[in-house]
Chains A and B, each alone.
Chain A
Amino acid sequence: MSREFRPAIGSPASPEFGERSGEKVELHIGLWKDGRWSYLYGDDTAYRAEMPDIEAIREAAREARTGELPDVVQGPVINAPVWTWEIPLYFWFGGIAAGSSFVALACDVAGDDTSARVARKVALAALMPSPPLLIMDLGRPERFYNMLRIFKPRSPMSMGAWALSAFGGLAAAAVGADLLGREREAKLLGGANAIVGGYLGSYTGVLLASTAVPVWGRSRLFLGPIFVSTATATGAAATRLALVATGLPVGHPTRNALGTVETAAMSAELLLSIVNERRLGPLASGLETGRPGTLFKAAKWAVRGGLALRLARKRGGPGAHHLASLLYLAAGLMFRYAWVGAGRLSARDDRAVAEMHRAETHGT
């Protein structure tokens, strides 16, 4: 990146005002004219001190920064995330889109072209509300296009913005190809979309994990898998309901397979969530208290309810299956809200934040 370092010339309202002289502005570092008086402890003052032993200084810092947490933590230590309701809702829609793209690919692999077409439409439909939601949450929505100003692999938000754009383009193209009856192109585009969908469904977990918020940061190995599970389950559930609505008969292999996928993914999500909560111990406080805590609990019960309905499938008719799919979709939505809300609570829990940084091993 280059910057203009040459000084401007001319006075306001003169013709040359704003033009550059061509000379470089002098850096005052050697001088820092008025800054120099700052040296309270300079050699020519009564505060002059000898250079002490560096090891003693390092030891003093080590002593203060290790050991027990003091009784009082005077926060705030970190600032709470500023994201509002749009973000978890986007996570949910984005997850459904990603999950449906997996389903579309699987349908193609299994040779069920009709269902694949529906799944591709579901992916596009679920994606549509995502960009507006994300733009609404920005502090300066009119500058949303700055998200695509640079490509920054280490920033999950930048990669996510690119993945979302790519997914949107591919999903629209795939549906377009379907409408034009170009089956081969639609399949190819759908396959590519599933690959992008793999990132779209999981990066949100990585994004939350890459923060200083204890409940997110300390779940770094779990958040990605949990979010992928939610995406797969909700995507499969939404596609399943869409297929039923378009007249896929009972007992069709695709319908059965989607039921299995939903149940397996939601079980995985439930299991991972419970293991992670145990693992976090006191750092999980955000997931156990307040509104996020209630949502988290409700989500887990919704999953259990869905599982019970599925296991009792011998007795329940198709209605029970549809109810289970709806329960999974609702559970996914509640999980998303719980996770984002938990981060806000966790960031405000000054003791938890301080405790996380006192712990011997940093990271997981």
Chain B
Amino acid sequence: MSEIAIKRDDAQRMGFFTDTTVCIGCKACEVACKQWNDLPSDGGTFRKGGSYDSTGSLSGNTWRHVRFVELADAGGGVQQDELPDLVATAAANGSPIDVQAAVAAFDNWVFMSDVCKHCTNAGCLDACPTGALIRTEFETVVLQPDVCNGCGYCVPACPFGVVDRAPEDGRAGKCTLCYDRLEDGLEPACAKACPTDSIQFGPYDELVEVAERRVGALHARGVEGAYLYGAADAPEDQLAGGLGAFFLLTEKPERYGLPAQAESPIQENVVPATLAAMGAGLLAAAGVAAAFLWEKSR
């Protein structure tokens, strides 16, 4: 399928490798992203009885989001409404945070800095009717804000819940993998800001190799559950043809709000759906004509 793409001979695919095992949940990447891209806040609140995560989710204005995955026991499996009421706990202890309890519960915290996956088969790019979404020479998916008219079709077309329409702006917004910085030979703002190198940036092939080694090292150290989400898969297991921004995870993908399988919905559905619709259309037209001819002949 043809794509709206920028070509440049000496450019190569660039990506992110986000290693959740070293993420400390500081949200520096979120701040750096907002600063560099000049994005407004979505407003921060603690969800009562929910999570310590105060910045919600990826949206039209939040292009990096550190997801807090709170496993109330290290094995996981606790419903969200069973988590303690954070506001009540804070009030009872007379301090906003019980540091000792928090340290004791360290194993129960998992953080994941979520971002646009820059899919090989990008649903948003397939959906976009204006050509605002394009593939760049770095094989990333970038939304041109000067073209987007805010039709909103990319929003439900993304199987990862990344791109969204910013209500006050009216246009869709998502991570550009700092296209402007890449063109000047700078790494993206979030990777630059990450203090633990949980977010790594580099040429895709090199990153995949780094990630594979990291998984091997973790397995050798006994972290059996470590796996790569979106890279190094066999062709039949690939997520949306392979993700330009992939992750090292230790829990099942749904704990991070990620689907277990993903494909561009357009590439998956548009041909069978169109055939069914066209078939029905022909049948309907023939049916209408038949009804008229039958009535006439009576």
Contact = CB atoms under 8 A, between A and B. Distances in A.
Contacts of A105: 285, 288-289
A202 B285 CA distance: 12
Contacts of B59: 79
Contacts of B157: 210-212
Contacts of A202: 277-278, 280-281
Interface in B264-292: 265-270, 272-274, 276-285, 287-289, 291-292
B98 interface: no
Nearest to B136: A3
B292 A212 contact: no
Contact of B295 (A53, A141, A257): A257
A56, A71, A160, A228 — most chain B CB neighbours (10 Å): A228
A225 B263 contact: no
B185 A32 contact: yes
Interface stretch (A12-20, A259-267, A314-322): A259-267
Contact of A152 (B129, B150, B203, B293): B129
B210 A39 contact: yes
A79 B298 contact: no
B30 interface: no
Contact of B255 (A72, A110, A210): A72
B227 interface: yes
A1 B6 contact: yes
B63 interface: no
Interface string A88-123: 000000000000001101110111100000000000
B131 interface: yes
A160 B151 CA distance: 12
B92 interface: no
Contacts, number: 402
Interface in B4-32: 4-6, 8, 10-12, 14, 22
Interface in B224-266: 224-229, 232-234, 237, 249, 251-263, 265-266
A11 interface: no
A217 interface: yes
Contacts of B67: 74
B277 A227 contact: yes
Contacts of B252: 64-65, 70
Interface stretch (A182-190, A300-308, A329-337, A346-354): A346-354
Given A49-B213, A57-B216, A71 B76 contact: yes
A27 interface: yes
Nearest to B216: A52
A207 interface: yes
A210 B273 contact: yes
B288 A232 contact: yes
A217 B267 CA distance: 12
Contacts of B153: 155, 157, 207
A358 interface: yes
Nearest to A233: B284
Contacts of A236: 288
Nearest to A26: B185
A38 B201 contact: yes
Given A76-B57, A358-B261, A363 B269 contact: yes
B77 interface: yes
A362 B215 CA distance: 28
A222 B276 contact: yes
Interface in A14-69: 25-29, 31-35, 38-41, 47, 49-54, 56-58, 60-66, 69
Given A74-B255, A146-B130, A254-B295, A79 B232 contact: no
A228 B293 contact: no
A224 B274 CA distance: 7
A73 to B, nearest CB: 4
Nearest to A203: B277
Contact of A52 (B149, B219, B296): B219
Nearest to B187: A35
Interface in A165-218: 194, 198-199, 201-203, 205-207, 209-213, 216-217
The list of the 3 closest CB pairs from A to B, nearest first, reads: A139-B150, A224-B277, A28-B185
Given A38-B202, A79-B162, 9 more contacts: A25-B183, A29-B11, A64-B252, A65-B252, A78-B158, A78-B160, A152-B131, A155-B128, A212-B265
